[in-house]
A and B are shown apart, each in its own frame.
Chain A
Amino acid sequence: MSTQKPAGLRIRDLRVVFDGFAAVDGVDIDVSPGDVRFIIGPNGAGKTTLVDAVTGLVKATGSAAFDGQELLGRKVHHITRLGIGRTFQTAAVFEELTVLQNLDIAAGTNRGLLTLLRRRKSVPDSVAQAMETIGLTSARDRLAGTLAHGQKQWLEIGMLLVQDAKLLLLDEPVAGMSQDERDTTGELLGMLSEDRTVVVIEHDMDFLRRYARTVTVMHAGRILSEGSVAEVQADLKVQEVYLGHAKATSQALVQEV
């Protein structure tokens, strides 16, 4: 375990505008090093767009800095190389490659040309370790496309592990998972956060209650509320928004309170 303190994410006045519509409308967020921050909010609140902006997928104005390095305006792969990794709502793994190959690619960003042009002789330690962690060691030669939905999500998390990202942005990591799979993912999340900063977009309130350290609620492109799980749940504005927009979620939320 590294003794160095992981760095934090600092977002100031972030705006993403699509054809005149502000999907993210002036957002300030600070995620301190080592935090596990959940971002919740109704559909269309701008959560995914926020992550897209931070990772360079969409153009944004304002500022988003990690470890003191400004991220906006950089290319996607440059941002990644600063130690920022993300997953996607739909698991994005390389379906025609094996589990081992998927992880090996994720681990290999800094390989030189000569290494790239040679065949892989042995399994790198970090890859072997990650496979063990995500429980796919026995599936290492299976094509990722043949994995179960949950396993694909774990493979993505495994790719983040070997990628050595310092800031992880996870977009709905437990959507569509069974309760067992959720528990496993939660354990993985706990492990990831030991020496990394984690931001999770999630709808699942039970999952949030168990694993979030801090919560940010977004609504219509803005920050509605921020604080600990209990603080956010007690916030009347949050309840109002959820009552107005998504009944099922609101009930879940109110029941938690």
Chain B
Amino acid sequence: MTLVFSQLFTGISIGAVLLLIALGLSLTFGQMNVINMAHGEFIMAGAYTVYVVQQIITNAGVSLLVALPVAFLVAGAMGVVLEFLLIRRLYTRPLDTLLVTWGVALILQQLARDIFGAPNVQTRAPDLLTGSITIFSSGDGNDLMVANSRLFILTLALLAVAALTLGLRMTPLGRRIRAVVQNRDLAAASGIATGRVDRMTFFIGSGLAGIAGVALTLVGPIGPTMGTNIIIDAFLVVVVGGIGQLKGTVIVAFALGMMQSLVEYSTTISVAKVLVFLTIVAFLQWRPQGLFTLRTRSLA
């Protein structure tokens, strides 16, 4: 019994990481239909931000709290620059965008290697987040333990979802973003500066990648190629969740995390990967547009 719960919670925490990574994509890919392969490198930038901040602020807890907004700004700024210099010209050519941003990703990785060195770097986690709490005590030594860092990531992911949902619904910018997604021409005709909205969307989406990077320092190594390894899973989450829908991303992130964890437990990691892929292909047979679809006049 404990085992099932333990696997479930592993799934939830894998899902939370996926969600944090995919959340930014659900804006840039989901809302704007831009495939930004450099999104993974923005995550990397967020992670290195923690490393840099810790060189200045030695207290692990404080540095983590400082790194969160700084990483958001750093990654967001990188996103805006990328949007302004390249992506803006490529809105009608999504496949070329994918390859161009892959090139940017390669350059950013090499920059990281040149600045921070090729080997992974270490950051210190705050004491508060290094331990684990016992959720369920079975008495026979098989207690259900949950790492604090995982709980922190879960909380961070849920907070980010809540902030994004509220932001899109309540703020004027959020309304503009949704207006541009649903009907770009009409939005432009109504006096919305669509170019600026695009840039803001990209800023927030990329900024969220920075936040994800900060979170990843708690559970994995920080290195130049850390972004490439996770980015495809995150794209799959958005594809399966459905374009332009936050709730799809949330549900699918947790579902995939859960599935990965459970299949992994009963077989091996490598088999789990293949099975998850086959499930996604099968799922797209059933719902080629993803779990939730946003009906606009531009989608047949």
Contact = CB atoms under 8 A, between A and B. Distances in A.
A and B touch in the complex (CB under 8 A): yes
Interface of A: 18-19, 57
A57 B295 CA distance: 15
A19 B300 contact: no
Contacts of B300: 57
Nearest to A57: B300
Contacts of A18: 295
A19 B297 CA distance: 13
Nearest to B295: A19
Main SS at interface, chain B:
loop
Interface of B: 295, 300
3 contacts: A18-B295, A19-B295, A57-B300
Contacts of B295: 18-19
B90 to A, nearest CB: 19
- Main SS of the interface on chain A? loop
A252 B87 CA distance: 46
Nearest to A19: B295
A231 B103 CA distance: 65
A216 to B, nearest CB: 24
Pairs of residues from A and B, 3 with the lowest C-beta to C-beta distance, nearest first:
A19-B295, A18-B295, A57-B300
Nearest to B300: A57
Contacts of A57: 300
Contacts of A19: 295
Nearest to A58: B300
Nearest to A52: B300
A114 to B, nearest CB: 32
A45 to B, nearest CB: 16
A125 B300 CA distance: 36
B300 to A, nearest CB: 7
A57 B300 CA distance: 8
A18 B300 CA distance: 12
A19 B182 CA distance: 15
A18 B294 CA distance: 12
B117 to A, nearest CB: 48
A46 to B, nearest CB: 14
B24 to A, nearest CB: 28
A19 B293 CA distance: 11
A166 B99 CA distance: 45
A2 B61 CA distance: 86
A18 B297 CA distance: 11
A19 B295 CA distance: 9
A18 B296 CA distance: 11
B166 to A, nearest CB: 24
Nearest to A18: B295
B51 to A, nearest CB: 48
B48 to A, nearest CB: 45
A19 B300 CA distance: 14
A44 to B, nearest CB: 12
B25 to A, nearest CB: 26
A54 B210 CA distance: 49
A83 B200 CA distance: 50
A19 B296 CA distance: 11
